[in-house]
Amino acid sequence: MATSILKILVVFLSILSPGVLSKYQLPFQLDTLVLPVTKDSATSLHVTNIQKGTPRAATPLLVDLSNKFLWIDCERNYTSTTYQFPFCHSTQCSRVGNHYCHNCSAPARPGCHDNACAVMTTNPLTHWNVLGELGQDIVSIQLAHGPTSGVFVDVPQFIFSCAPSRLLAGPLPKDVVGVAGLGHNPVAIPHQLASHFGFRPKFGLCLPSSNKGNGVIFFGKGPYELDPGYDTVSHPIVGYTPLTIGPRGGYHIQVTAINIGKKALPFDISSFFRTKRGSFAKALISTTTPYTTLHHSIFMAVTKFFGDQLSWAPQIQPPVSPFGLCFNTSNIATSRMGPAAPSIDLLLQNENVTWTISGANSLVLARPDVWCLGFVDGGIKPRNPIVIGSYQLENNLLEFDLARSRLGFSNSLLFKRTTCATFNFTSTP
């Protein structure tokens, strides 16, 4: 099975780039794929770009770790000639899970057919749900490394939801036409690529901290090399922690305690969830929440304790909204590693597995002369006591190993003298 796929791809790749690739140049590595990621400065959200449809069109999509599949606004400008829609009760339809049989009264177009499979499609910013038509079309994705890096391979019948324009609302980055769902679902992007290419469901996320360069999402085996020139980043993962899946398909980790400036936060965060297997607070990892959002009581404790650890720096009153603690930049030294702030350690399954949030990921330049602690008050009844937001994920490599149900994390790559924007997308064989 795997061999025949490989043969077909060899033929395909030879056609795609004659003279560059032939079967005599085997072995090539069709085991790791990459997508670029940019940061939108207006919204602080991250956007990927997928080549899609016939003719191929660059399709900017919001990166959403919790969404169950890729969805696109098909009403406005989806003109691909290779669009197909699986019928209701088809195998493709049942792969998605919840679905409905749907007729469309308007003239047929992508997103509007009779006897189609309709799936509940979610906007992560507005939390709106509407029915989208399940569709299939070609997607082209770039190979990561080896002699074929820079070459695109096709997934001819990639499954996605073809949604009405009204779903595309909210404070979305300009130009975005849909959402790239990386959540836990058989048709989420990592799972579809894994089953199509026969690699294990695993992906790596490395979000850039500015709009000046591309970050990267890796799919497949790896290694997830950012900048092959640096030995230190050939495997930057410093720890692994168990990954659990939330009811909506999002990824959670378990935080048992928090240290700030190496001192224990005087607040028992593990009281949020007690089971026979231990006590902890569930933390959702979210790319659609710009800043880490904490249950009100955790937020108050963290804000106070962080201020105490940085007592030499006078605070600015009132703090810049939506933050709760701000400082004059002139009191805090800054280096290539970011502002010198007390580290915030999330202690995971035990005290030896620590996700460290350092200055570059904790302090936000809210105004030209004001640093604020980049955490937000989530109120007293949040869905998750901790939501780790995208600012805290930037320039960290996260490895979601869905076959082993674990998350690998690198902590700030700035300490390894690299960033998420060092992957070379233009390299050619």
Ligand X SMILES: *[C@@H]1O[C@H](CO)[C@@H](O)[C@H](O)[C@H]1NC(C)=O
CB of 74 to ligand X, least distance (A): 12
Residues 6 or more apart from 20 whose CB is under 8 A from it?
151, 429
Nearer to ligand X, 57 or 237 (CB): 57
- Is residue 328 involved in binding ligand X (CB under 6 A)? yes
Report how far residue 385's alpha carbon sits from residue 264's, in angstroms, rounded to the nearest whole number.
18
Stretch that binds ligand X, among 232-240, 248-256, 294-302, 421-429 (CB under 6 A): 421-429
SS3 251: strand
Report how far residue 45's alpha carbon sits from residue 77's, in angstroms, rounded to the nearest whole number.
23
Determine which residue in the list 301, 316, 325, 420 makes contact with ligand X, applying CB under 6 A.
316
- Is residue 352 involved in binding ligand X (CB under 6 A)? yes
The answer to whether 152 touches 50, Cβ cutoff 8 Å, is no
CB of 3 to ligand X, least distance (A): 30
Q: Which pair of structure tokens corresponds to residue 327?
A: 């400082």
Determine which residue in the list 41, 82, 211, 350 makes contact with ligand X, applying CB under 6 A.
350
Q: Name the DSSP class of 41.
A: T
Nearer to ligand X, 13 or 316 (CB): 316
Number of H helices, E strands in the chain: 6, 31
Please give the backbone phi and psi of residue 167, each rounded to the nearest 5 degrees, phi first.
-70, -25
CB of 159 to ligand X, least distance (A): 21
The answer to whether 377 touches 299, Cβ cutoff 8 Å, is yes
Kindly list the distances between the CA atom of residue 264 and the CA atoms of 256, 309, 310, in Å, as whole numbers in the listed order.
Answer: 11, 11, 15
- Is residue 279 involved in binding ligand X (CB under 6 A)? no
According to CB under 6 A, which residues from 222 to 261 bind ligand X? none
Nearer to ligand X, 4 or 426 (CB): 426
According to CB under 6 A, which residues from 131 to 190 bind ligand X? none
The amino acid present at 177, given as its one-letter code, is V
CB of 4 to ligand X, least distance (A): 32
Stretch that binds ligand X, among 4-12, 22-30, 296-304, 419-427 (CB under 6 A): 419-427
Binding pattern to ligand X, positions 95-124, x when CB under 6 A? Answer: ------x-x----------xx---------
- Is residue 90 involved in binding ligand X (CB under 6 A)? no
Binding pattern to ligand X, positions 34-63, x when CB under 6 A? Answer: -----------------------x------
Nearest to 205 by CA among 380, 378, 46, 367: 46
Binding pattern to ligand X, positions 357-376, x when CB under 6 A? Answer: ------------xx------
CB of 295 to ligand X, least distance (A): 26
Query: Cβ atoms within 10 A of the Cβ of 419, count?
Result: 23
CB of 347 to ligand X, least distance (A): 10
Determine which residue in the list 76, 212, 263, 274 makes contact with ligand X, applying CB under 6 A.
76
CB of 77 to ligand X, least distance (A): 4
Q: What order do you get walking across the sheet with 281-285 strand by strand?
A: 244-245, 251-255, 281-285, 386-388, 292-294, 375-377
Report how far residue 3's alpha carbon sits from residue 5's, in angstroms, rounded to the nearest whole number.
5
Nearest to 161 by CA among 114, 217, 222, 92: 92
Question: Residue 125's Cα: distance from chain center in Å?
Answer: 15
Residue ranges binding ligand X (CB under 6 A): 57, 76-77, 101, 103, 114-115, 316, 328, 330, 350, 352, 369-370, 424, 426-428
